[in-house]
Amino acid sequence: MTWQYTPFLTLTLIAAGLVGIAALYVVRQQRAYEPVPGGYVAVVLAVAICWVLLTYALQIGSVELSQKLLWYRLGYIGFMPVPVLLLLFTLQYTGRDGWLRWWSVGLVSVIPLAMIGLAFTNERHQLVWSNPEIIPNRAFAALRPEYGDAVVVYVAVSVLLSGASIALLLWRAYESAGIYRRQSALLVTGTVVPVVAAGVYFSGMNPLPGLELMTISLAITGGAFCWAVGRHGLFTLIPIASQAAVEQMDDAVVVIDIRGLVVNVNEQAEPFLTVDPSEAVGGSVGAVLRPFAVPPAPRSGEPESDREVVTNPETGRSYQRTGTPLTDSDGVVMGQLVVLQDITERVRRERRLRQQNEQLEEFASVVSHDLRNPLNVISARSQLARESGEVEHFEALDRAADRMDRLIDDLLQLARQGQTVDETERVSLREVAGDAWSLVNAPQADLQVEGKMFVEADRDRLQQAFENLFRNAVDHVGADVSLVVEPLEYDAELGVASGSTDASNSGNDGEDTDRTRAGFVVEDDGPGIPAEERQDVFDYGHTTEEDGTGFGLAIVKEIVEAHGWEIRAVDGQLASSHEADEYGGARFEVTGVTTAQGLAIGETDVGFDFG
């Protein structure tokens, strides 16, 4: 045999080799994991293209007519089924398997099988080609036959089948996003090029006489196929979860394959992504998901789902993150289904339930201790009263009964205040404080309310908090106590409420949210609270008074926390609009308050004096 060399020979052999390698790679993927729809058809298609390119390369390299006709005839074995295989692959790849029936597959296979048969019997009828000859061109000695009627029919049918494939792939690209759209675009390119090449070839605009543009164009088809496999994950981004099922779920869903690549997401997953959902598919799970949403990698032999409660550090919301391994029929891990469910309200309810359980335990402790004392007094004094009949014993009985009555009232009030505030309204701090002060029996005391502030609160429970704070001041300071109520305005630069004890030594330690650290202060002019006792004053039963119940400030704390606010006891400090030494003592700062409108500090300074 005599051979000739041309660059077309090298390029065609390289293209054949690449397509063959891609076919082997897809076979490996199909055997290692759950077979992908269209995968094995694609393998057959790739093998057919590889065969066509290989036989055409040998035809180019041949010089004698008989050699060229041999490779030309053998090339028909691979070339004739290409349009049919492309259509079958497209139907499976786009999820239209229902169109594939034995009779429909058989019908579209008749023409390529008939063409192969006609090619090997062409000498008898010359329906495929006639008058073959070798013609020189600028690159190599080429074979140029005259095509028969059978080829004309075949080309017409091939264009029809390829057109159907192109339409389906275009629709797939339109419906898809991210890497799936790029896959479809590459496959469309690989399908369109041979059709365009056929048009150029049969129109007589062939740039090199005898160059089979349709066959050469299959190298582009093979290249697009290889690029889709190697660069865009065709047949490795396994569709292991139904797109429809994922999209219809209310929770955020992310599907990850065995390599840690995201293969599917729904719109609900957007808050957990670092990129747009349309760009998430095909990306590494570590790069696409926010850190708190990344699950542990599934391991073979551990089919159980991984469940963990995680928190978004930016919003503070809690999520149940469930990572479920996805396996094939043999138990081999193929990927992971990650579901993120918002359980913020459940976590809050559970936290509140724990607090209430702790509260019940403290109730039991207080009841067993504090109620036992007056009961012992009643028991002993009643015995003495029966024996002696002295009046002092009856007075002691009255005091013990009164103490029990106060204890029971405070316990009931404390139980009610532990409930979370569900509905709030816009209330004036000045008005609520004034209403609370009017119910405090302290004619010699006075209250000064500074500025104007409106907050979102449960009015009745906020008034109850003020009443307890005011009574606490009267009980511990005296009937002539002076109190001041003033707002704390949020200082964005410092990140704290201006005027609070933090304002002088704090920095901005976080992002502002819809709930600022604005708040208000209740301060008296008494001796204050020792530093070592400030954490304890809100405990159940804590009191320094002999006849105190120790529940007043505990009730205040429950009301404040039920609103989502914070309270603390600090050193007393002077209000800016008053002379030195006029106020001081115990100071209670309530922060984290949602304001209903801006503050108007200093516009008015009208006091309430009910003395």
Given this model, what pLDDT does residue 84 score? 92
Residue range 7-230, CATH number:
1.20.1070
| Chain CA centroid to CA 538, Å | 39
DSSP 536-588: TTTSTT--SSTT--S-HHHHHHHHHHHTT-EEEEEE----TTS-TTSS-SEEE
Of 198, 87, 213, the C-alpha closest to 151 is 198
Contact 363, 411 (CB under 8 A): yes
AA identity, residue 43: V
Model pLDDT, residue 298: 75
Could you give the angle at the alpha carbon of 333 between the alpha carbons of 327 and 336, nearest 5°? Answer: 80
Average pLDDT value for residue range 297-309: 75
**167/510: higher pLDDT:** 167
Four-way CATH pick for 347-419: 1.10.10, 3.10.50, 1.10.3470, 1.10.287? 1.10.287
Identify the CA nearest to 522 among candidates 566, 487, 562, 477.
487
Structure confidence at residue 302 as a pLDDT band (50, 70, 90): low
As a whole number of angstroms, the distance between CA 601 and CA 430 comes to 12
Average pLDDT for residues 549-553, to the nearest whole number? 71
Structural fold of domain 421-611: Heat Shock Protein 90 (3.30.565)
Termini Cα distance of the chain: 125
Q: How far apart are CA 454 and CA 599, in angstroms?
A: 8
Least-confidence region, from 86-95, 118-127, 371-380, 570-579: 570-579
Distance between CA 563 and CA 592 in Å, rounded?
Answer: 9
What angle do the packed helices 7-32 and 39-61 form, to 10 degrees?
Answer: 160
Triad 85, 90, 93: Cα angle to 5°: 125
Both structure tokens of 421: 């505030």
Strand partners, 449: 485
Structure tokens at 192: 């369109």
Q: Is 220 exposed, middle or buried (0-12, 13-18, 19+ CB in 10 A)?
A: middle
Domain segments of the chain as ranges: 7-230, 243-342, 347-419, 421-611
Mean pLDDT of 554-571: 86
Output Rg (C-alpha) for the chain, integer angstroms.
43
| pLDDT score of 600 | 36
Judge whether 55 and 39 are in contact, CB under 8 Å. Answer: no
Q: How far apart are CA 421 and CA 490, in angstroms?
A: 23
CA atoms within 13 Å, Cβ hemisphere of 192? 11
- Torsion, Cα 367 372 377 378, to 10 degrees, reads 70
Q: What is the mean pLDDT of the chain?
A: 77
Distance, in Å, from the CA atom of 33 to the CA atom of 329, rounded to the nearest integer, reads 10
More confident residue, 236 or 221: 221
- pLDDT band for position 2 (cuts 50, 70, 90): confident
- Model confidence at 580: pLDDT above 80: no
Contact residues for 27 (Cβ-Cβ < 8 A; gap 6+): 43
Residue 409 pLDDT > 80: no
Q: Which residue would you say has higher pLDDT here, 344 or 550?
A: 344
pLDDT of residue 330: 60
CA–CA separation, 172 and 570 (whole Å)? 67
Q: Which helix (H) or strand (E) holds 448?
A: strand 446-449
Over 70: is that where the pLDDT of 562 sits?
A: yes
Number of H helices, E strands in the chain: 18, 16
Question: What pLDDT score does 418 carry?
Answer: 52
Q: Place 264 in a pLDDT band, splitting at 50, 70 and 90.
A: confident
Backbone angles phi, psi at 544, to 5 degrees: -105, 0
Element of type H or E holding 286: helix 285-288
Dmax over CA atoms of the chain, in Å, equals 144
- Provide the token pair at 58: 């040998």
Distance CA 204, CA 207 (A): 9
Tokens of 162: 């390829």
Asked if residue 338 lies in contact with residue 261, where contact means CB atoms within 8 angstroms, the answer is no
> 7-230 and 243-342 share one CATH topology?
no
The three-class DSSP label of residue 358 is helix
CB atoms closer than 10 angstroms to residue 434: 17
As a whole number, mean pLDDT of residues 223-232 equals 62
Instruction: Using the predicted structure, report yes or no on whether residue 564 has a pLDDT greater than 70.
Output: yes
Task: Quote the distance between the C-alpha of residue 194 and its chain's center.
Answer: 43
The domain 243-342: what is its CATH number?
A: 3.30.450.20
Range 39-76 burial, b when 16+ CB lie within 10 A, else e: bebbbebbbbbbbbbbbbbbbbbbeeeebbbebbbbbb
Section 122-131 average pLDDT:
92
- The pLDDT-based confidence of 582 (bands split at 50, 70, 90) is very low
* Amino acid in the structure at residue 143: L
Sign of CA dihedral 421, 426, 429, 434: negative
State the DSSP string of 189-216.
Answer: HHHHHHHHHHHHHHTT--SSTT--HHHH
Position with higher pLDDT, 395 vs 56: 56
DSSP code at position 36? P
Determine contact, residues 150/118, Cβ cutoff 8 Å.
Answer: yes
Beta-strand runs (E) in 28-93: none
Residue 491 pLDDT: 47
pLDDT exceeds cutoff 60 at 288: yes
Q: What percent of the chain has pLDDT over 70?
A: 75
Choice between 51 and 359, residue whose per-residue pLDDT is larger: 51
| Helix-strand-coil split of the chain, %, nearest 5 | 50, 15, 35
Asked whether the predicted pLDDT for residue 81 surpasses 90, the reply is: yes
Task: Report which of 235, 282, 239, 231 is spatially closest to residue 261, judged by C-alpha positions.
Answer: 282
Return the axis-axis angle of helices 149-175 and 102-120, rounded to nearest 10°.
Answer: 140
Instruction: Please give the share of the chain, as a percent, with pLDDT higher than 90.
Output: 15
Look at residues 52, 49, 46 and name the one whose alpha carbon lies nearest to residue 30. 46
What are the tens digits of pLDDT across the range 154-190? 988 988 998 999 998 888 888 766 666 777 888 888 8
So what's the pLDDT on residue 122?
A: 93
Indicate the SS3 state at residue 319: strand
Stretch (H or E) spanning 333: strand 333-342
> Has residue 150 got a pLDDT over 90?
yes
Q: Is the pLDDT of residue 33 over 60?
A: no
